[in-house]
Amino acid sequence: MDLESSLAAFILTFLGMMFLLGEFMVKLKGISGILGFGFILLFFSAHLSSFNLLIVVSIFVFAIILIIIDGKLLNDGTLSVIAIILMLLVVGLTTSNWVTGMYAVIGVILGTFASFLFLKIFPKRNMWNRMALMDRLTNEGGYSSLNKEYKELINKVGVALTDLRPVGTIRINGKDYSAISNGIWIKKNESIKVVQVDGTKILVEIVEN
């Protein structure tokens, strides 16, 4: 009987998290979210009284709100991680014995990973675009090498291809860059020198003859 209860807990939490988190990742018009929340509600209903059910569901809804805030506003993943941990604690502490709780927690973890499969099938939501951009700006995406290249431009001399008023285009060692002058109008074909680099922002000044 305990094994059946544990397997049921695993299936409900697995399907619940897969469909629920899948709703945040892809465009499914709320269908996946309703299914996911329904499975989670069935899980809690099987283990809690009405009063405790209200409290636990409220905590779970709060965790969902954290994920929404992360996706809409922050987009750095911090609140989403906190939300998942909160869900794990709530699910694990809900059951009457540790075996069922362990199965339920495993269901949450595997369901979370399974939700990423939705990205291969359905259109992705725009709310995670900035997070995807941050991923691309990792070492694997070549950001470090790009940043290093720009840092090496400091004190290099080049020429202004356009007027800098104060933004324009410069050429150094045969390569073109967007640059900005320090509030000074630098005319086209003037010799310039890079005095500062901040990320990909290049600050230049006129080379005094």
Q: Where in the sequence of the chain do the CATH 2.40.50.140 domains occur?
A: 146-206
> Is 136 a residue whose pLDDT tops 60?
no
- Packed helices 2-25 and 31-45: angle between N→C axes, nearest 10 degrees: 150
Measured in degrees and rounded to the nearest 5, phi and psi for residue 177 equal: -140, 155
Q: Is 150 exposed, middle or buried (0-12, 13-18, 19+ CB in 10 A)?
A: middle
- Strand 175-181 to strand 191-198: parallel, antiparallel, or no bridges (unpaired)? unpaired
Q: Spelled out in words, what is the top-level CATH class assigned to the domain 146-206?
A: mainly beta
Alpha-helical (H) ranges within 120-201 are 129-136, 143-151
Q: How many whole angstroms separate alpha carbon 172 and alpha carbon 205?
A: 13
pLDDT above 90: percentage of residues in the chain = 40
Least confident range from 92-106, 115-129, 138-152: namely: 138-152
Least confident of 22-31, 94-103, 172-181, 192-201: 22-31
pLDDT above 70 covers a percentage of the chain that reads 87
pLDDT value of residue 195: 93
Q: What integer best gives the mean pLDDT of the chain? A: 84
Q: In whole angstroms, give the CA distance from residue 36 to residue 13.
A: 9
Answering whether pTM is above 0.85, one says: no
